[in-house]
Amino acid sequence: MKKFLFLFLMLCAGIVIAQPKTDELYFKDRLTKTLTEDNIFRSDEYYNWCSSIIKGDDGKYHLFYSRWPKEYGFLSWLTHSEVAHAISDSPAGPWKYKETVMQSHGKGYWDAITVHNPKIKKFGDKYYLYYVSTNMGDQDYTEEELVETAKVGYSHPNWKKYLRPNQRTGVAVASSLNGPWERMDQPLIEPSGPIATLTVNPAITQGKDGKYYLIVKGDKPNETRFIRNQAIAVSDKPTGPFKMMDKPVIDYLDTEDMSLWYDGKRDYYYGVFHANSFIGMVSSADGFNWKKATEYVLMYKILQTSDGLMKPDRLERPFVYVESNEPQVLSLAVKKGDDAYIVFIPVQ
């Protein structure tokens, strides 16, 4: 009786009890079931990977993606990846290659070797191309040695000692999607707090508070198993400096490849990632505290094409293209046999 009387008096006094915000984004049941050839972007001589879409002032859709030559094998992403630019009339494709945007910077730079994991964003009147690169430290090397490293792969001493642990996230800035792109002299952020060893797989959005929220992946600290954490860092500017938050985005599951956006309609933050067997989604009311989203499992790693069901060898690098606060396309990187390409799943 006292409880009801207390609530009655509060209502009479005009006091409103604030209810916590809830995650109300649902789109997994609206993913197109069958992909057409227009939804598949492949190249004869390159592996295509790591998609990121933006709509330009020209009304066209611009795809920034990673690609690397098939002649050196799939693992040459760590030694020979470059960022390319393609254009389409639709975010679901078909896409046409336009140009190569960025390649390895060369000896003497933090981003000397490979350019990977691109994310293209527009903040204010500037375009920001976030990417991952690496270097060999003070160790000298030849092009032939890089090719050998790529062909041997994970067990090569260069891979384990230099190339993997030196991976960092950086950004290049331009006034136009056509460049020129000005690279920064240093990486955006070093591993700390919830992640160790490296900072890769960048994803960034501007929150309603005007701050910039950057998610990066690294190794889980003090862990003997091969498990990666996702961490979030915050800055007042899209070029940093970024401050790493102590609380991880994901540390309960080995995940990679976040796609991040702030939903102004729902006043919520969303991140889509890939795990071992599924593409999943996490969400946050404030950008700092993350949980499994209402639609935690968006899809399992099976695709329906015009040729029938297809289970890729790898299905990774999810990217959600959002327009007017609504998901329009979920793109994914596919590896099947000795081919790698990007698929674009329209959201109905």
Summarised one tens digit per residue, pLDDT across range 7-44 is 444 444 444 445 568 899 999 999 999 999 999 999 99
Determine, yes or no, domain membership for 288: yes
**Average pLDDT for the chain:** 95
Determine, yes or no, domain membership for 1: no
pLDDT attached to residue 306: 87
Determine, yes or no, domain membership for 2: no
Which residues neighbour 239 within 8 Å (Cβ) at sequence distance 6 or greater? 128, 171, 173, 184, 188
pLDDT over 70 (residue 159): yes
Domain total for the chain? 1
CATH number, domain with residue 278: 2.115.10.20
pLDDT attached to residue 303: 97
pLDDT attached to residue 21: 80
| Alpha carbons 130 and 53: distance in angstroms, whole number | 13
Determine, yes or no, domain membership for 4: no
Is residue 216 within 8 A of residue 234, CB to CB? The reply is no
Angle, alpha carbons 329-198-131 (nearest 5°): 40
pLDDT attached to residue 183: 98
pLDDT attached to residue 22: 85
Is residue 267 within 8 A of residue 261, CB to CB? The reply is no
Q: For CA atoms 111, 117, 122, 127, give the dihedral sign.
A: positive
pLDDT in tens, 56-92: 999 999 999 999 999 999 999 999 999 999 999 999 9
Beta-bridge partners for 328? none
For a pLDDT cut of 70, what percent of the chain falls above it? 94
Determine, yes or no, domain membership for 172: yes
Determine, yes or no, domain membership for 18: no
Which residues neighbour 201 within 8 Å (Cβ) at sequence distance 6 or greater? 117, 132, 215, 216, 217, 230, 256, 257, 258
pLDDT attached to residue 240: 97
pLDDT attached to residue 84: 98
Q: Which domain holds residue 325?
A: 23-346
pLDDT in tens, 280-323: 999 999 999 999 999 999 999 999 998 899 999 999 999 999 99
Is residue 332 within 8 A of residue 92, CB to CB? The reply is no
Q: What are phi and psi of 163, to 5 degrees?
A: -70, -45
Determine, yes or no, domain membership for 55: yes
Q: What is the average per-residue pLDDT within 161-171?
A: 98
pLDDT over 70 (residue 179): yes
Burial of 57 (0-12, 13-18, 19+ CB in 10 A): exposed
Determine, yes or no, domain membership for 220: yes
Which residues neighbour 140 within 8 Å (Cβ) at sequence distance 6 or greater? none
